[in-house]
Structure 1
Amino acid sequence: DNPKGYFEFEPVKKTKDDSSWVQVAAGKAVKMVYTINVRHVFIPIIKNIKKNLKDIISNVHGTV
């Protein structure tokens, strides 16, 4: 539940175990933000976003 925020698509949270929802979502926009462990350093991954990088970074850091 996120009544004052964005819609959270529940299947995205289970993508590691079941990615079948990806084919159903073809033609729709889905934003996924997650971290991966690369040599013990956590790095946020943002893929396939057609947006100005400065706008994305400002948004992440709350400086919009």
Structure 2
Amino acid sequence: MRIFLNTEKCQGHLRCMDLAPDLFDCDDLGYGVVRTTGPVPTTLEQAARHCAANCPERAISLR
């Protein structure tokens, strides 16, 4: 599984960073960024799904 963040949809709510700080961070402007460049570790897959489900802008997708 990989995480993709649509930066055009992100509004900077940062729920993703609150829910999974190992997977998400924020940039200098306060918008979310993905911390992992490769596959999500299996121990964090549930957290990634939780973040995608809780993004109010639906900016996070998992593939």
TM class by smaller structure: under 0.3
User: Highest CA radius of gyration, 1 or 2?
Assistant: 1
- Output the TM-score relative to the length of structure 2: 0.27
- Output the TM-score relative to the length of structure 1: 0.27
